[in-house]
Amino acid sequence: MSLEIQNLHVRTEDREILHGVDLTVSKGETHALMGPNGSGKSMLANTIMGNPNYEVTEGKILLDGEDLTGAAPDERARAGLFLAFQYPATVPGVSVANFLRMAVNAGREEPIKVKEFGAMLGENMDLLKIDRAFTKRYLNEGFSGGEKKRAEILQMAMLKPAIAVLDETDSGLDIDALRIVSDGVNAMRGPEMGSLIITHYTRILNYVKPDFVHILLDGRIVREGGSELADELEEKGYEFIREEVAANAG
Amino acid sequence: MPASFVEEIRSAALARYESEPIPNWRRSGFWTTSLRGLDLDALEPRRYEPIAGREDLPEVARDAIGEQERAGLIVQRGASTIASVLDPALAEQGVIVCSLEQAVEEHPELVEPYFMKRLSYEEGKFSAATAAFWTGGAFVYVPDGVVVADPIQVLYLIDEPGTVQYAHTLVVIGENAEAYVREACVATDFEGQALHAGAFEMYCAAGSNARLSHYQDWGSGEVHDISVKRVEIGRDALCKWVPIHLGGHLTKQQLDIITAEQGSDMRHSGLYFTQGTEHLDLFTTDRKEQANTTGDTVWKGALTGASRASYEGLIEIIPGATNSHTYLQTHSMLLSPKAKADAIPSLIVEVDNVSASHGGTVGEIDEELVFYMMTRGVARQEAVRILVEGYFEEVVQRLGDPQLEELCRRRISEKILAAKDTVAEFIAQR
């Protein structure tokens, strides 16, 4: 199964931000999408998930060959896509446990058995070193930055998506939290999941080694390569890439 | 022969009632509450026989009362008291739970000092009507130092169109006593008109710790509810009050909580959910009369259909109530393009050295939140339901009463599902 993004053009009310993005992420692969602020990374993540604030004017989003370009976000989720948000919403009055149960059940015909759910939740919380008391709190209400990111990864672990997009999951994490989150992501790596890790910095890529790296600049993918591209970027910075692109265009 | 203090008030109130026109409540902006549609002359007080047990009550009443053992229960159907129950162990400790009519006969010395102490028949035509015409009623008396763990319940039921119900509940919580009082006002779904004109007064003596809930669900009939409910809190006493409004054709209520003596404290948390063409007009007062009193008020509402809801919350701090601290917040959530709400917090502060703050919002469901839920596979309608339930959860949990909390959650959930077409229409427009 793969997520195929073909010639994707996306605009806000004001202007076009993505000018034809092509990207394929297959199960079993880990991709990194890197780019400076304003390059359109978060917009791409949100568009993959069907955020109604963004309009696709051209191009397609396919999952396993099925065209999801116009699908509602919940259909995409049930088809196997997942987005770990950069800024997850706060859901007052809904506990982490209830939220997770609802989300898990949304993708099933029969509701999950209480015991099975409890076992799965316990296992994943251990994996992410999350305290049991956490599940009684309202989702993201009063959570620290690190707790929010862990709650996102916990949801990912519970929902077991085919393709997961992680939007700046590393931002705002201290080194310990980053390690925990990375361990969690690594534990889920395998033939059953493909992931697209969106990041500004190479920091998380030291823990989660990508198979492929793509660089997004001004709404276009300008360079692609293996994990060595991230090292090159670390060394030279985005300005260097920008100059290189300008030189090639000239 | 009824006690003369009651008769004197009845006759004065009757004169007042006859001299007053049917009111029209108007406020700045679009808001008017009018009784034009009510055919008052066609209504009558209906009499009923006592019941043998809870199985003789309609479902809406049984739901409100719940299954478990209770400390005491008064049920008034139409104009008649049809059930009066009190745990004998509590009776032995001096607790009284009976109809107000019976209390006036048997315990006039306990009733007289409190009866209409904070209510007046001069507050309008329906305050006069209630004072003049009340029958049955409820009297709850918890003596000094007595702790009642289980809820004491009062239920007003209307189950026939053409009914007028004049209700009067008087609750007295003695010094250092503790109790939880639940009052429910319910009706079956019928076709036709009815009126509940209610008076509720509660006095929490020094050092007492009281909880009070009001549960209102008037069903789909044209029940008009015009009521005044007032709670007075004495020195170093605490009252937590949670009114729940789950619908009624037209409701006009004034809910006042008075921290009347040094160190008195209150929590007032309410919710409402209106649907169809329901009209809800709520006015609450947080009145601080002496120094070092505290409180907070939180009201949350949601509207579907073409319903109207207005919440006005006043904080009033009179001279002498220095070093008082209180705040009020109110939120209304619109779930339909045709619904209208307003939320008006206001302040009258006549003394220095106090803190009082307030805030009010009228909003719609947060689209960012809906998107977030949908990215987890939850369908749009379901996401909206969960978010509205979550929004109310803060208030529901303040009930601290699992049975009533469950009932509220169930009814809220049912109401959201019942309104799913207008909710969908609303969402589609945005």
Sheet containing strand B265-274, edge to edge, reads B80-86, B72-77, B152-158, B178-187, B209-217, B238-245, B265-274, B294-303, B325-334, B355-364
- B-chain residues near A49 (CB < 8 A): 375
Beta-strand pair B355-364/B325-334: parallel
Q: Tell if the CB–CB gap between A89 and B366 is shorter than 8 Å.
A: yes
**What is the token pair recorded at B135?**
């029958």
How many whole angstroms from its chain centre is CA A16?
A: 22
**Going by C-beta distance under 8 Å and a sequence separation of 6 or more, which residues neighbour residue A112?**
A101, A104, A105, A120
Contact (Cβ atoms closer than 8 angstroms) between residue B391 and residue B361 = no
If contacts are CB pairs under 8 Å, which of residues 79-98 in chain A contact chain B?
Answer: 82-83, 85, 88-89, 91-94
Tell me which residue in B371, B378, B392 faces A102 most closely, judged by beta carbons: B378
What tokens were used for B383? 């996401």
To the nearest 10 degrees (0 to 180), the angle between helices B4-19 and B125-133 is: 140
Residues 125-164 of chain A with CB under 8 A from chain B are: 138, 155, 159
Cα–Cα distances in angstroms (integers) from residue B364 to residues B280, B335, B424, in the given order: 19, 7, 13
Write down the pLDDT at residue B428. 62
* Tokens 């006549």 -> residue: B350
Q: What is the pLDDT of residue A250?
A: 67
Instruction: Give strand ranges (E) for B304-383.
Output: 308-317, 325-334, 340-349, 355-364
- A100: phi then psi, degrees, rounded to nearest 5: -65, -40
Confidence of residue A168 (pLDDT cuts 50, 70, 90): very high
Which residues of chain B neighbour A83 with C-beta distances below 8 Å?
375
Residue range A104-131: mean pLDDT, rounded: 93
Considering only CB atoms, A93 lies closest to which of B372, B383, B394, namely B394
**CA-CA distances (angstroms) from residue B121 to A220, B13, B80, B112, B157?**
75, 6, 22, 16, 23
Q: Which of B369, B378, B390 sits opposite A106 (nearest CB)?
A: B378
Q: Which of B366, B376, B389 sits opposite A77 (nearest CB)?
A: B376
Q: Are A42 and A16 in contact (CB under 8 A)?
A: no
β partners of residue A80: none
- Give the pLDDT score at B182: 97
Q: What's the CA gap between A29 and A12, in Å, rounded?
A: 30
Instruction: Provide the residue-wise pLDDT of chain B in tens; the chain has 430 residues.
Output: 567 899 999 999 999 999 999 988 887 667 899 999 999 999 999 999 999 988 999 999 999 999 866 899 999 999 999 999 999 999 999 999 999 999 999 999 999 999 999 999 999 999 999 999 999 999 999 999 999 999 999 999 999 999 999 999 999 999 999 999 999 999 999 999 999 999 999 999 999 999 999 999 999 999 999 999 999 999 999 999 999 999 899 999 999 999 999 999 999 999 999 999 999 999 999 999 999 999 999 999 999 999 999 999 999 999 999 999 999 999 999 999 899 998 889 999 999 999 999 998 898 888 999 999 999 999 998 999 999 999 999 999 999 999 999 999 999 999 999 887 777 766 666 5
By the 8 A CB rule, do A10 and A56 touch?
A: yes
Shortest alpha-carbon distance between residue B6 and chain A (Å): 47
Contact B377 A49 (CB under 8 A): no
Structure tokens at B281: 């007009």
**For position A207, what pLDDT does the model report?**
94
- How many whole angstroms separate alpha carbon B284 and alpha carbon B253? 8
DSSP code at position A138: B
Which stretches of B76-228 are DSSP H helices?
88-92, 100-106, 108-111, 125-133
Which residues 36-75 of A are in CB contact (within 8 Å) with B? 49-52, 72-74
SS3 B375: coil
CB B374 to CB A103 under 8 A?
A: no
**Residue in the block written with tokens 């549609």:** B37
Residues of B in contact with A72 (CB under 8 A): 374, 380
Only one residue has tokens 């939007």, namely A167
> Would you say A18 and A43 are in contact if contact means Cβ atoms under 8 Å apart?
yes
Distance CA B302, CA B342 (A): 11
Question: Taking CB atoms and an 8 Å limit, are B375 and A99 in contact across chains?
Answer: no
Which pLDDT score, from 0 to 100, does residue B302 have?
Answer: 96
Over residues B231-241, the pLDDT tens digits come to 999 999 999 99
Digit-coded pLDDT (tens) for A12-60 = 988 999 999 999 999 999 999 999 999 999 999 999 999 999 999 999 9
pLDDT tens figures, A85-117:
999 999 999 999 999 999 999 989 999 999 999
Residues A152-161: tens digit of each pLDDT: 999 999 999 9
Tokens of B265: 């404290």
SS3 (DSSP) at A63: strand
Position B223 scores a pLDDT of: 98
How close B162 comes to chain A (CA, Å)?
40
CB B301 within 8 A of CB B273: yes
Using a CB-CB distance cutoff of 8 angstroms, which residues of chain A are in contact with residue B383? Answer: 74
Distance from CA of B157 to the nearest CA of A (A): 32
Count of CB pairs separated by less than 8 Å, A with B? 74
Radius of gyration of chain B (CA): 21
Burial of A192-222, coded b for 16+ CB within 10 Å and e otherwise, reads ebbbbbbbbebebbebbebbbbbbbbebbbb
Closest Cβ–Cβ partner in A73, A102, A107 for B386 = A102
Inter-CA distances, B102 with A57, B52, B322, Å: 76, 19, 41
β-strand partners of B344: B312
Q: What ipTM does the predicted assembly reach?
A: 0.96
Please judge whether A106 and B379 are an interchain contact, meaning their C-beta atoms are less than 8 angstroms apart: yes
Residue type, B394: E
Instruction: Please tell me the predicted confidence (pLDDT) of residue B420.
Output: 79
Q: Report, at the CATH architecture level, how domain A2-88+161-249 is classified.
A: 3-Layer(aba) Sandwich (3.40)
φ, ψ of residue A77 to 5 degrees: the values are -65, -45
Model confidence, pTM:
0.91
Spell out which residues of chain A touch residue B392, defining contact as CB-CB under 8 Å.
93
